Chain A
Amino acid sequence: MHHVHEENHEAPQSFLRRYIFSTDHKVIGIQYYLTALFMMLVAGLLAILIRIQLAWPQTPQPWLHKILPGLYDPNGIMRPEYYPMLFTMHGTLMVFFVLSTAPVSGFGNFLIPLQIGARDMAFPFLNMMSYWTFFVGCLVMLASFFVAGGAAASGWTAYPPLSALPESIPGSQWGQTLWIIGMVFFIASFTMGGLNFVTTVLNLRTRGMSMFRLPLTIWAMFCVSILGLLSFPALTAGVIMLLFDRHFGTSFFVPSGVVIADKLMPHQGGSPLLWQHLFWFLGHPEVYILMLPAMGFASDIISVFARKPIFSYRAMVFAILVISVLSFLVWGHHMFVSGMSPYLGMAFAVFTLLIAVPSAIKVFNWLATLWRAKIHFTTPMLFALGIVSLFISGGLSGIWLGQAPIDIQVHDTYFVVAHFHLIMAGAALFGVFAATYYWFPKMFGRMMNETLGKLHFWLTFVTYYLTFFPMHFLGLRGMMRRIYDPTQYDLFKPLQPINELISHSAFLLGAAQLIFVFNFVWSIFRGKKAGPNPWRANTLEWTTESPAPHGNWRGPLPVVYRGPYEYSVPGVAEDYIPQNVAPAEVKTVGARG
């Protein structure tokens, strides 16, 4: 502790040590965040290509042949072997490299020391290593688009034998191997980050900051770090075994007697279901790694702009803890029709509906926070309300999917695509935006433009619903995921107008993000200067200057006297009491005049 304290006043002077190979958690957080935004751009463009294809599967797009001659034939028709590459890499990049990275590695790094009252992370050098490991992972993933056969094409779930046998699909050649290597770098980076987060939250809280005075954002970061540390090892084992199946002659996942293109494969005795268990043992906690931080942001931001304590802080904490534990017991609901024993399916159905209880409690608590509040509709508040809205809309379809018999009909259809884009991707994406507008002043010392922010919110919110809500209907009709041309089926031909509507909305959704990019860049240089506490909020990051200096506080570390949600306390002059104001210094109404 003493050691950290002495170090803090000396910020490194050289550009390289200060902005590139920095060990300052704020710089690292912003590095993660900006890298994730770049990956979002790539993954978003892949989604646009998917939507062009699904809405107009047989319409030539010669202009696309000019831009992407590898992907489109000279007539402007997409080559069918490359379509799987698009959805595989869209999913992989979005889930891991964007929506895990920006909220957890980005904002988690930036916020944990600032909100718990620490000078930096427990292991600053490990933190720097973690970012550069992630960076290599990004490069490997991006490079995979340019190898023979293209990028991985077996879906973000990489089910073997498709992912294990290079003969089975063009993208299962070097693309799949690079996918595995990229994932290993990602997992290594996420593990370093997780160790750092858990240690920092447990050991470096300032005086008075008990666990039950932590902002809910920190509770979420703490729990998702533990989730990551416990669940990613299963995937690590899985991808290494997959690598061995592909290159070193093992047969963990490939059974005997597999014949590809009339050639008998030499593998013997593996189990494709083993991979699915390993993958989803990570895959389901991973969903909560995306969602819990967004729920933390929503709780904190709603409380600030409702000028009201979050309803039932303890229930919120327990809901996060219960969700975290249960998230390890529901993975099999991805496998109801996989051939797994139906008895196992029953157990997973029970746990899946059980996890809906703490999720519902969170929604009720947000609504109760809004009741008799004084709501200020700033851009971060709008995005936080958007999280609540999407969480309700996407969460309720989970009650359909968790019932195993209903899953028989809608599994692997667009119903599932609608569900997880609304709840997991939607909540995480809106969480990133809410957090960006809210903490931008602390990151860059300036405010983002509110008018552009609101325009960005409304275009994003409306087009997000228009893009993903109608997918429920495609799915109920039976339209499968991951198909290159839905019009092959007579059953789905009448659905094309809906597919076109979805694609138009998706293009608008993509275009609306240009407003955000412009606002972000413009505000860094020209935004209104922010004071230390522009939102009149209670948490500790607002007790230091904007942007926070190296070491976070120029003087001694703040001391904490209360929880983070003391808004509109009766008898107090201001409608907020920062966590570090001593009880004797709180101005009462009488003292005002």
Chain B
Amino acid sequence: MSRIQALLFAGFTVLLVVVAVWAFRKPWLPDLAADRSALDHRIYVTMIVTGIAFVLTQGLLAVFTWRFRAREGQTAAYWHDNPRLEFIWTAVTAVVLTVLVLGALRLWAQIYSPPPAGALIVEVTGQQFAWNIRYPGPDGVFGRTDPRLITVDNPLGIDDQDPRSADDIFVVNQLYLPVGRPVQLRIRSRDVIHSLFLPNFRVKQDAVPGMTIDIWFTPTQTGTYELACAEHCGLGHYRMRGFVFVQTPEEFAETLASLPPWRGE
């Protein structure tokens, strides 16, 4: 009885390891379209480190369950500890994790560093269930907004009395970006918590009502990509989807010129 169960357990564990290693070989991450290859690199490094730990520990589990199954006449060894062995595996684990976390902190600091001068500034405001995208227009300044001015036709509550708002450009669910230029997103929400998720750009940031959160990155590949909401925000959460269009600088300038400036009602 022990033999069959030992064989099943060890066999299943070996199969699990083989299938897991095989499945993780495939690059599951969506194609990268921004300057965040360091993040992908970090994922791959972590995958290899944890992969080795996975193969070793599951491997030992398989070997031990098979090798030390109960047999006639056999007795188990008797001991309580082995301080040297324990010191070694504690130290090795601690060193590996320290190295990983230091690398992670460095990358984190880089991602959240101040945006470079000359970054394109775009405001992204979540609402149930759409993304409001606003460019400051030729004057480079966003017009004032006030939640009391919000109507169906003015979802951001843009103040028409403010002269800076006239040239603002407002689009819904369409984020146009030029390739190669850093972009600073000013992320806001007008109702509940949303999360701006650009899978191809390795970008995710919650949009929290009452807060304006700035992040930046640089698109590196032209093309059309999907933009998602990653934080449960209500019954239409699953369809709070938009698009990112990364264009050449020339195309981008044309697009901005062709979009009608904000006029209000």
A residues near B (Cβ < 8 Å) are 80-81, 83-84, 153-155, 159, 161-162, 165, 168-170, 254-262, 264, 270-273, 306-309, 311-315, 337-339, 342, 345-346, 349-350, 353-354, 356-357, 360-361, 363-364, 367-368, 370-377, 382, 385, 388-389, 392-393, 396-397, 399-400, 402-406, 408-409, 411-413, 454, 458, 461-462, 465, 469-470, 472-473, 476-478, 480-486, 488-491, 565, 567-570, 575
Q: Output the least CB separation between B258 and chain A (Å).
A: 25
- The chain B residues found within 8 Å of chain A, CB to CB, are 1-2, 5-6, 8-9, 12-13, 16, 20, 23-24, 26, 28-30, 38-39, 42-43, 46-47, 49-50, 53-54, 57-58, 60-61, 64-65, 68-71, 74-82, 85-86, 89-90, 93-94, 97-98, 100-101, 103-105, 107-109, 111-112, 127-128, 147-148, 150-152, 157, 190-193, 195, 197, 199, 202-206, 208-211, 213, 226, 228-239, 241
Give which listed residue, A311, A375, A405, A485, contacts B238 with CB less than 8 A. A485
Contact A364 B89, CB 8 Å, known A339-B211, A406-B43: yes
Rounded to whole angstroms, the CA-CA distance of A372 and B64 in the bound complex is: 8
The reply to whether A338 and B2 form a contact with Cβ atoms under 8 Å apart is: no
Q: In chain B, what residue has the closest Cβ to A477?
A: B28
Contact in complex: A490, B209 (CB < 8 Å): no
| Bound CA–CA A539/B23 (angstroms) | 43
Decide: B226 and A405 in contact? CB cutoff 8 A.
no
For B28, give its contact among A306, A311, A392, A476 (CB under 8 Å). Answer: A476
Q: Bound complex: CA of A368 vs CA of B160, how far in Å?
A: 72
A272-B193, A491-B199 given; A349·B101 CB < 8 A:
yes
Q: Which residues of B contact A363 (CB under 8 A)?
A: 57
* Cα–Cα, bound, A182→B148 (Å): 36
Q: Inside 8 A of A162's CB, which chain B residues have their CB?
A: 192-193, 232-234
When chains A and B are docked, how far (Å) is the Cα of A262 from the Cα of B157?
10
Bound-complex Cα distance A481 to B230 (A): 7
Q: How far is the CA of A353 from the CA of B150 in the complex (A)?
A: 45
Measured in the bound complex, the distance between the Cα atoms of B21 and A469 in whole Å is 12
Name the residue of chain B whose CB is nearest to the CB of A376: B70
- Whether A374 contacts B74 in the complex (CB less than 8 A), given A309-B80, A488-B241, A491-B199, comes out as yes
Beta-carbon nearest neighbor of B20 in chain A:
A469
Q: Are B193 and A159 in contact (CB under 8 A)?
A: yes
How distant is the Cα of A264 from the Cα of B149 in the complex, in angstroms? Answer: 9
Q: How far is the CB of B22 from chain A (nearest CB, A)?
A: 12
Task: Give the distance in Å from the alpha carbon of A260 to the alpha carbon of B64 in the complex.
Answer: 59
The contact sample of 27 A-B pairs, CB cut-off 8 A, is A162-B234, A258-B192, A261-B128, A272-B208, A307-B70, A309-B80, A337-B205, A346-B105, A350-B101, A350-B105, A353-B97, A370-B61, A370-B64, A373-B68, A375-B6, A375-B65, A375-B70, A382-B5, A385-B65, A399-B97, A405-B107, A406-B39, A409-B39, A483-B237, A484-B237, A486-B238, A491-B226
- Beyond A382-B9, A412-B195, whether A485 also contacts B239 by CB under 8 A is yes
Q: Assess the B226–A489 pair: CB atoms within 8 A.
A: yes
User: Would B42 and A405 count as touching, CB distance under 8 A?
Assistant: yes
In the bound complex, CA of A345 to CA of B82 (Å): 37
B226, A260: Cβ atoms closer than 8 Å: no
| Contacting pair A376 B60 (CB below 8 A) | no
A262 to B28, Cβ gap below 8 A? no
Nearest to B77 among chain A residues (CB) is A372
What is the bound-complex CA distance between A586 and B265, given in angstroms?
94
Enumerate chain B residues within 8 angstroms of A159, measured Cβ to Cβ. 192-193, 231-232
Picked from A314, A356, A389, A481, the residue with its CB within 8 Å of the CB of B13 is A389
Contact for B104 among A311, A364, A405, CB less than 8 A: A405
In the complex, the 8 A-B pairs of residues with the closest C-beta atoms, listed nearest first? A255-B210, A377-B5, A478-B199, A257-B147, A403-B104, A476-B28, A372-B77, A483-B238
Is A349's CB under 8 angstroms from B9's CB? no
Residue from the set A84, A161, A259, A376 with the largest chain B CB neighbour count within 10 Å: A259
A409 touches B193 (CB 8 A): no
Q: What's the nearest-Cβ distance from chain A to residue B245, in Å?
A: 14
Contact of A405 with B65 in the complex, beta carbons under 8 Å:
no
Do A367 and B234 have beta carbons less than 8 Å apart?
no
Contact check, B193 vs A168: say whether CB atoms are below 8 A apart. Answer: no
Given contacts A306-B76, A314-B81, contact A80 B97 (CB under 8 A): no
What 9 new A-B contacts, CB under 8 Å, besides A374-B74, A377-B9, A406-B104?
A: A84-B237, A162-B232, A168-B128, A256-B147, A350-B105, A361-B93, A408-B39, A408-B111, A470-B23
Distance from A135 Cβ to chain B, minimum over Cβ atoms (Å): 30
Give the residues in chain A near B109, CB-CB below 8 Å: 342, 346
Q: Specify which chain A residues have a CB less than 8 angstroms from the CB of B127 in the assembled complex.
A: 259
B77 touches A308 (CB 8 A): yes
CB atoms of B30 and A84 under 8 A apart: no
Whole-angstrom CA separation of A400 from B77 in the bound complex: 37
Nearest B residue to A386 via CB reads B9
What chain A residues lie within 8 Å of B38 (beta carbons)?
405
Q: How far is the CB of A138 from chain B (nearest CB, A)?
A: 25
CB-nearest residue of chain B to A307: B76
Interface pair B100/A353, CB less than 8 Å apart: yes
The minimal Cβ–Cβ distance linking A577 to chain B, given in whole angstroms, is 11
Interchain CB contact (< 8 A) of B209 among A161, A311, A405, A575: A161
* CB-based nearest B residue for A162: B192
Whether A374 lies near B236 (C-beta < 8 A) is: no
Q: Verify A392–B61 contact, CB threshold 8 A.
A: yes
Q: Which of chain A's residues have a CB closer than 8 A to the CB of B228?
A: 478, 480, 489
User: How distant is the Cα of A364 from the Cα of B93 in the complex, in angstroms?
Assistant: 11
The answer to whether B39 and A372 have CB atoms under 8 Å apart is: no
Chain B residues closer than 8 Å to A371, beta-carbon distance: 64, 68, 77
CB distance from A69 to the nearest CB of B (A): 19
Cα(A349)–Cα(B24), bound, Å: 24
Cα separation A412 to B231 with both chains bound (whole Å)? 7
Partner of A260, one of B77, B103, B191: B191
Say yes or no: B213 contacts A339, CB within 8 Å.
Answer: yes
**A168 and B61 contact, CB distance less than 8 A:** no
Instruction: Say whether, besides A356-B97, A465-B16, A393 and B46 are in contact (CB < 8 Å).
Output: no
When chains A and B are docked, how far (Å) is the Cα of A406 from the Cα of B104? 8
Nearest-Cβ distance from residue A90 to partner chain B, whole angstroms: 13
Of the listed residues B58, B61, B75, B238, the one surrounded by the most CB atoms of chain A closer than 10 A to its CB is B238
In the complex, the answer to whether B86 meets A361 with C-beta atoms within 8 Å is yes
A400 contacts B238, CB within 8 Å?
Answer: no
Check B6–A377 contact: CB distance below 8 A.
yes
Q: What A residues does B24 contact at CB under 8 A?
A: 472
| Shortest distance from the beta carbon of A381 to any chain B beta carbon, whole Å | 9
- Which chain B residue shows the least CB distance to A164? B192
A568 and B77 form a contact (CB under 8 A): yes
What is the distance, in angstroms, from B214's C-beta to the closest C-beta of chain A?
10
